[in-house]
Structure 1
Amino acid sequence: LKAKQGCLRRACGYAHVRGRGRGGAGRPCPPREKEAMASDRAGMAQLAQLLTQTVAGNTQGMQAAEQQLRAAEIKPGFGLILLDLLRDNSIAAAARQAGAIYFKNYIRRQWSVEGAGGGVSASDRQAIKQHLLTLMLQAPKQIQVQLAAGLEEISVVDYPAEWQSLLPEMVQHLKTSQDLSVLRGTMETAHTVFLKFRSQARSEQLLKEIKYTVTGFQETHLEVFKAACQRTLGGGLTADQLVLHFELLRAVLGAFYSLNIVDLPEYYEDHSKEYFQGFLELLKFQHDAVAGKGGEQGPLEQVKGVICECFALYTDKYQEEFSQFLLPCVNAVWTLLVALDQQEKNDQLVAKGIHFLSSAAATHWNQSPFEDPAVLSGICEKVVFPNIVLRDSDVELFEDNPLEYVRRDMEAADQETRRRSSMDLVKAMGRLNEAKVTEILIGYVKVLMEQTRQVPAERAERFKDACIYLCIAMAVRGQTQREGVTVTNQNVNVVDFFASLVVPELNAKPPAQRSVPNELLRASCLKFVTVFRNQLPREQIGAVLPAICGHISVESPVVHTYAGICIEKLLTVRDKNGQGQSAPRYDPATMRASLLQMVEPILQTIAANKGIPMNEYLMRCIARIFSFLKQQGAETGLQTLRPLSAILVAMSANPSNPIFNHNLFEAIASIVKVCVPSQPDAVEAALLPSLGQILERNVSDFLPYTFQILGLLLDATPSVKPLYQELFARLLSPELWRAQANVPGLIRLLRAYFTKHALFGDLMRGHLQAILERFQFILCNRKTEGSAFELLNAMYTHLPLEFYQVHYKTLLTVILTRLHSSKSPKFQRDFVVSCSLFVHRQPNNIFPAVLGEIQAGLLSNLLGSLWLTVTKMALRLDERKVCTLALAKLMAQEEVKRNPQLMTGCCAGLISLMGLVQSQNAPAVAEDGSDDEAPPVDGGAGLDFEVSFSKLRNTDLPGAAAGLAPDVPDLRVAARALLQPLLAAILPLAQANAELQPLAVFIQ
């Protein structure tokens, strides 16, 4: 990498290594340059030392090094210096490895930050992108992995529009390189870059990006695939070469999937025979060099798994084009599945193969192989049944790794297990052949239940376990993560099965000596109740509830965890009444005794680290119990705060499980919410010492939650403690706001200060400039720009205008500047909603007047080009309220009234916002996301902890005003009052345009 200017090097606090050729020495240096190089070398050594310190294991040293690096990373040139260090082979391997990890995290933190928020300068961005791919391909594997992750982060934001050199550079490497490692690394990079196409919603912009990519990549992609297949299947490769080829093929297939996932490109359709012939040949290939060992899949299983995913993609999306390949692909996968043994290395491949058969079985074909009853029986016998019955390895997992067992089997867990995939196959076959498939499987269940009477107890319990899962597979036809099963197979009587098999097992006393098969069966019975919680009547659940709660004290970690999951899910069940409103099915007063008896055993299990350490499921159960019981659990809740506080202090020493931490704070918040209004001093006495320790020790993982809990406490406290006075200035530290995880908590706590502005008035006025600077910082970061509007809305809602009126023009200018560079529909929506809130809450003319000061005619331009577009978007009820009332106010402005075209657009916007086209008396929809009974965060795969795990649900006092417009109980009444003075202007427009007549009728 070429050296940056010296001023940039010095600004970062580190000297920059001068560019050297691979040979090392470079040209001779004059004396002054030699001195500079010595200084550069010293600076590089200093940077290497700091990086080494970040992974040294000394907590104090790690934090000090991290702070110095964080201070340096916001200055120009830092990323380039870091890349130079990674390229320099004379630097110790440990420092380079730490530097690679730091580079990845630096990119994650800074690349999405724009403008005044800091981030990476434009020149640095260009230089990093120019050199990153080549450096990555030349780096050792450990460093390559980290650089690839950084490259992926950049590509998500910049590719292709802001990184047009990347695709040609990758194609050039693939066309010209003779180094198989470079080919593999380049194709893995392409696969990584193209992954973004899998997760984005279909749009014109996405289609353009894919077309650009396909056009530049398609021919090279096919050539690499054909060459790799030819060499792999030819039989002349050594073991090492074979591994490299399979790793290359894995990336080729991943890229194929990503480029075909949105639409079928013409080139791939034209060359589908070449691809699918290669796929079928690869499915037959066997070689020990690439096969997995023991429980770990190898490149062979991975490649075959991706091929099955590609088959499923074409089955789901491109039936007409895939129909010619259907029979050979089904036969190939069927042959593969029957041949695979029960080793764990095959588990994911089996799951993916079964998933393809599920997709094919659930699809209408002109000649479907799944219409033959003999085929259905064969699938049930050879695929479904062997993969639903527990293996010895599953029993070992139950005993030796209970957390992994729970994660594989629990609701909404990873789909790639044999048992879950087999159950999905049963559902898929049942869509078109429900009666026949159900008949076949009920026959299996009857045979198994007969055999339970003839075999030893341990064998009988395994058979019963298989029956439970066969019943779940047969009965479930539709379900959601939040609500559970919503549609069932009417040919399966779930309630009878529950009464005949599940209830007796749950009510039976556990054996005197621990029996793993019995514990497995009990866990499966609890799983059955969890799955069918909506279908099982309240009375029958009530009869078995004490037994379910009693299982929380069972020694088996899986059993007591399943008991906690079962209760947590039961408490979320809601039924609709005659008016269509939903209410909890179970009564807190009725369940109170059984639920509160669970609290002490759960706390003892967690505190003693029994079973599953830091058991997130049990802690979630605690949170749910108190959230459900509310005042019925207040007394016990207050007593529970101290042990929870002790667990909090213990966890703060090493906060290693983010999901457990989240549920711990959710449990604390659910208790605080109930107890603090009536006993604020007792609650603060239990919590403030531990929260104070977290703040004092700067426990970064816990700060986001601590701020939110403090906000809840501050809302309720009648007398302000010194802690809140002392804390305020620290809340505005730029360092705190750079950690995205802190942002929701900081805003929640600032909102509490805003609501008590009468007590903190001087403090607020003295720091308002800093508050607005923090707002601008998070506005300029794409990952936190939504939170910026939350801060702004809290200010508009709770602070008097006099506090910030002098800054309002500057504030609005900053937002408009950011709006100009952001084309995101969400940003536009947030902007319009926030401005609408301001217009709704403040005197009519301030917003238009300030816009006029910024630029003449700006109000009309904004309304016509942006505002009216947002009125057609999906909005929550409270957002629609403020948008409707603000638009009605703005229509009264002379600038708008004099513009018939704009008035017409505004009228159409109001019709859309109020739903006047459907029905004048249409009921308002419920607020989204404001339900306390919504399940706490599950911690599903793929969620970003910083963004998704920090915001707690229970951080508002009971009865607190919800949404943006609590002062508007009836939108239509308020809107009509504002619009009646405008009737004379609206009527002529409605007479000329029939589409506006519903608004005129509504006003009259």
Structure 2
Amino acid sequence: MRGTRSELPLHPIDQMPIIKADCLRYAIAFRGLLSPDTIFNLVNIVPNFLIASSVVVHSYAAVLFEKILFMTIPDQPSLTPLVTKAKISTPDLLIQRCLEALSRPTSCENVYLMRALLRICCCLEERCLPCMNDLVIVLATRLTQIIKNPSKPQFNHFLFECLCLCVRLTCSTDPAFITQFENTLFMIFQEILQQDITEFFPYVFQLLAVMLEQYPLGPNARELFAQKRKVAGLEPLPQYQQLSNQPMLNPAYAALLPRLLVPALWETQGAVMSLARLMQAYLLHNVEAVVSTNKVEAILGVYQRLLNSKTNDVYAFSIITAFLLAFPRANLQPFLKQIFICIFQRLQSAKTEKFMRCLTTFLAQFVLIFGANELVQIVDGVQNRIFSRVLEKVLIPHAELAISSPVAHSNAGDGQQGANGASGTYSSLSSTCFSRLAREDYLTVAAGLSILVTQADALCAPMANGMTTSYHADAFVPFVQSILAGLLAGPARCGAIAADAAALSATVENANSASSPPIFTDERFTDVAGESASFVLIFGRCKLPTLSPGVFDPRIYFAKCLENLAQRFPGTISQELQTGLSNEAKATLEAYCAQGMVRLE
């Protein structure tokens, strides 16, 4: 590598392009064997080659720089970049060189350059804001050009990823900047939709969702999340404290909504995922438009159609969860029974493993929103004591997988290649367990099911007390055992080490939540493939506050929930667990109780 390092800066940029290309390719192939000092030297050297006239040289330079930013410090509980934004000495010059390379006729749709630009902006975060105006103008201009003759799907994908990132980065400093993005992009979106350029529809809908989400959450969702943090003893999130500075919603969103619910549009390739994502944004950030345009029933109709599809049922649950968050409980009352009737009809017709995990996750979220007794009451209201069947056929068999193996996750950590290799406590973990989505689902589903099994009177009140409401009590111990199995499996089924890493990461992240800029953990370390077949924008994912703030280690939380239950029924609960749990489950529970300094008596 010493020869490579000396060869790169030795000659003017455009001399000896073959040697320079070989050196860059060598560094790409063996970057995992390089020392951190060598990597940092390359960070300063490689950007010079982005302005090389040779397409091969500046393409290899883009690939190498992107791969370097993808590298992590080995053996950390969370994904920690080897090259931080502070290590980039001239961020504005770096971005300008990328834009200059993209302006060359031979590289105006260079996938490697656009992908590198995406990773650079993600790494720099707020340090790229001084260049944001130039960056957005270039991206919007290029989008205007490519819609006339789309030819490179991967380039198009990365272009929309960059636009999503620009919106989120800029508006995180001041949400009022969203109006500038709307002024720049709405005309382009209108042209795409009017000319029926269907290959761009999924990207437009996801980017619209991201733009809509720069406005405040609706009043009910905002109050719910604020109350959750208050009960947990946490400070309010800064973005929800000063709403006076928030921009007024652009009426164009409300005007567009009726067209988005035309059934034919949902038949377009890739449209279901992106339209469901946009419906989620409408419900959470512009529910007034849903009500004023009388589209509540139409959205519920979409939910019902998606629920009956084995391919798209996961999107039905994302829409209906947003629906539950968007409206006050009293407004939801007329719809709740029908929501569950649709679920039970699907259960009778087609039970796939994915559907059962999604349903278990949804029930856990329902408990976190409304409470355990409310769930039992509504389900039993559909048919007397049918909640027993839900426990027997859904929750007990599928709680373990729902907790430990989420349906939705990112591939964050695929680039878990640190300098000089890695070996240690966390180095053996799979990439998926580093995913924020996997960790959040592990925590949220476990917290919701913990509340359900310990606070639903019909489930956890001992039969020995003669309580006529405890008609599901025979499922209590099996349900506890299933939850313990999920907690033991850990995030992405990577065991106790992954669970320890997730708990440590959540604790540190909470301590920094009030002061930190946007954290693109999953996004930065996800190897964005740009596959047009899926159309999913990594930077277009929904970001919501957690429904279980204050829960940093679900294993300890579950033990404390059981402790509170045992205090309600002294001697009874601990005896049931002692006689009903398997030896492995008892050992697991004892370990969690010891870890949380909990006594079950």
CA shift for structure 1 position 834: 0.9
Q: 1:681 to 1:895 in 2, by over 3 A?
A: closer
Determine which of 474, 479, 487 is the counterpart of 1:914. 487
Once residues 665 and 657 of structure 1 are traced to their aligned partners in structure 2, the CA distance between those partners, rounded to angstroms, is 13
User: TM-score scaled to structure 1, two decimals?
Assistant: 0.45
Do the aligned partners of 2:14 and 2:53 also contact (CA within 8 Å) in 1? no
- The 5 A counterparts of 1:575-586 are 575-576=73-74, 580-586=77-83
Q: 1:524 to 1:789 in 2, by over 3 A?
A: farther
Once residues 14 and 400 of structure 2 are traced to their aligned partners in structure 1, the CA distance between those partners, rounded to angstroms, is 65
Once residues 783 and 921 of structure 1 are traced to their aligned partners in structure 2, the CA distance between those partners, rounded to angstroms, is 30
- The 5 A counterparts of 1:891-970 are 891=453, 892-897=455-460, 898=463, 899=472, 901-915=474-488, 923=500, 925=502, 931-939=522-530, 945-946=532-533, 948=534, 950-955=535-540, 960-961=543-544, 965-966=548-549, 968-970=551-553
Partner-residue secondary structure (3-state), 1:614: coil
User: Partner residue of 1:814?
Assistant: 342
Determine which of 105, 127, 147 is the counterpart of 1:609. 105
Match status 1:792 vs 2:328: no
RMSD between aligned residues: 3.1
Q: 1:689 to 1:538 in 2, by over 3 A?
A: farther
Q: 1:860 to 1:505 in 2, by over 3 A?
A: same
Q: Report the AA paired with residue 912 of structure 1.
A: A
CA shift for structure 1 position 904: 1.6
Runs of 5+ unmatched residues, structure 2:
216-246, 406-437, 464-471, 507-519
Match status 1:551 vs 2:49: yes
Once residues 302 and 198 of structure 2 are traced to their aligned partners in structure 1, the CA distance between those partners, rounded to angstroms, is 19
Q: Report the AA paired with residue 681 of structure 1.
A: T
User: Partner residue of 2:423?
Assistant: none
Once residues 554 and 919 of structure 1 are traced to their aligned partners in structure 2, the CA distance between those partners, rounded to angstroms, is 49
Do the aligned partners of 2:199 and 2:269 also contact (CA within 8 Å) in 1? no
Do the aligned partners of 2:73 and 2:82 also contact (CA within 8 Å) in 1? yes
- The 5 A counterparts of 1:964-1003 are 965-966=548-549, 968-972=551-555, 974-976=557-559, 978-983=561-566, 984=569, 985-993=572-580, 995=582, 997=586, 998-999=588-589, 1001=593, 1002=598
Match status 1:588 vs 2:85: yes
Match status 1:754 vs 2:289: no
- The 5 A counterparts of 1:20-35 are none
Do the aligned partners of 1:507 and 1:544 also contact (CA within 8 Å) in 2? no
Q: Deviations over 1:73-104 (max 9, x none)?
A: xxxxxxxxxxxxxxxxxxxxxxxxxxxxxxxx
Q: Deviations over 1:506-538 (max 9, x none)?
A: 12215877xxxx433322211222223233223
User: Partner residue of 2:445?
Assistant: 883
Once residues 551 and 596 of structure 1 are traced to their aligned partners in structure 2, the CA distance between those partners, rounded to angstroms, is 16
Once residues 89 and 196 of structure 2 are traced to their aligned partners in structure 1, the CA distance between those partners, rounded to angstroms, is 38
Partner-residue secondary structure (3-state), 1:923: helix
User: Partner residue of 2:311?
Assistant: 783
User: Partner residue of 1:654?
Assistant: 149
Q: 1:811 to 1:912 in 2, by over 3 A?
A: same
User: Partner residue of 1:599?
Assistant: 95
Once residues 503 and 882 of structure 1 are traced to their aligned partners in structure 2, the CA distance between those partners, rounded to angstroms, is 48
Determine which of 705, 713, 731 is the counterpart of 2:203. 705
Determine which of 390, 411, 433 is the counterpart of 1:862. 390
Once residues 189 and 110 of structure 2 are traced to their aligned partners in structure 1, the CA distance between those partners, rounded to angstroms, is 22
Rg larger for: 1
Once residues 914 and 757 of structure 1 are traced to their aligned partners in structure 2, the CA distance between those partners, rounded to angstroms, is 36
CA shift for structure 1 position 545: 3.4
Q: 1:755 to 1:930 in 2, by over 3 A?
A: farther
Do the aligned partners of 1:879 and 1:964 also contact (CA within 8 Å) in 2? no
CA shift for structure 1 position 936: 4.6
Partner-residue secondary structure (3-state), 2:80: strand
Do the aligned partners of 1:680 and 1:716 also contact (CA within 8 Å) in 2? yes
User: Partner residue of 1:112?
Assistant: none
Stretch deviating more after TM superposition (792-801 or 806-815): 792-801
Do the aligned partners of 2:284 and 2:326 also contact (CA within 8 Å) in 1? yes
User: Partner residue of 1:738?
Assistant: 267
- The 5 A counterparts of 1:380-419 are none
CA shift for structure 1 position 672: 1.4
Q: 1:689 to 1:900 in 2, by over 3 A?
A: closer
Stretch deviating more after TM superposition (769-778 or 913-922): 913-922
Partner-residue secondary structure (3-state), 1:676: helix
Q: Report the AA paired with residue 989 of structure 1.
A: E
User: TM-score scaled to structure 2, two decimals?
Assistant: 0.74
The count of aligned residue pairs is 490
Q: 1:580 to 1:842 in 2, by over 3 A?
A: closer
CA shift for structure 1 position 554: 1.7
Q: 1:719 to 1:968 in 2, by over 3 A?
A: farther
User: Partner residue of 2:416?
Assistant: none
CA shift for structure 1 position 711: 1.9
Once residues 763 and 632 of structure 1 are traced to their aligned partners in structure 2, the CA distance between those partners, rounded to angstroms, is 40
Do the aligned partners of 1:839 and 1:847 also contact (CA within 8 Å) in 2? yes
Do the aligned partners of 1:878 and 1:965 also contact (CA within 8 Å) in 2? no
Once residues 395 and 487 of structure 2 are traced to their aligned partners in structure 1, the CA distance between those partners, rounded to angstroms, is 16
Q: Deviations over 1:763-794 (max 9, x none)?
A: 37x21111111122222333222222222233
Q: Report the AA paired with residue 676 of structure 1.
A: C
Do the aligned partners of 1:877 and 1:924 also contact (CA within 8 Å) in 2? no
CA shift for structure 1 position 666: 0.7
CA shift for structure 1 position 974: 4.6
Once residues 46 and 449 of structure 2 are traced to their aligned partners in structure 1, the CA distance between those partners, rounded to angstroms, is 54
Q: 1:521 to 1:869 in 2, by over 3 A?
A: farther
Match status 1:629 vs 2:152: no
Q: Deviations over 1:771-824 (max 9, x none)?
A: 111122222333222222222233334443344331221121212222233332
Match status 1:669 vs 2:164: yes
CA shift for structure 1 position 650: 0.9
CA shift for structure 1 position 642: 0.9
Do the aligned partners of 1:676 and 1:683 also contact (CA within 8 Å) in 2? no
Do the aligned partners of 1:575 and 1:584 also contact (CA within 8 Å) in 2? yes
Once residues 343 and 485 of structure 2 are traced to their aligned partners in structure 1, the CA distance between those partners, rounded to angstroms, is 26
Partner-residue secondary structure (3-state), 1:507: coil
Q: 1:540 to 1:922 in 2, by over 3 A?
A: closer
Once residues 690 and 920 of structure 1 are traced to their aligned partners in structure 2, the CA distance between those partners, rounded to angstroms, is 48
- The 5 A counterparts of 1:154-553 are 498-499=1-2, 501-510=3-12, 518-553=16-51
Stretch deviating more after TM superposition (769-778 or 882-891): 882-891
Determine which of 389, 400, 420 is the counterpart of 1:872. 400
Partner-residue secondary structure (3-state), 1:857: coil
Do the aligned partners of 1:878 and 1:964 also contact (CA within 8 Å) in 2? no
Q: 1:800 to 1:526 in 2, by over 3 A?
A: farther
CA shift for structure 1 position 951: 1.7
Q: Report the AA paired with residue 628 of structure 1.
A: C
Q: Deviations over 1:42-90 (max 9, x none)?
A: xxxxxxxxxxxxxxxxxxxxxxxxxxxxxxxxxxxxxxxxxxxxxxxxx
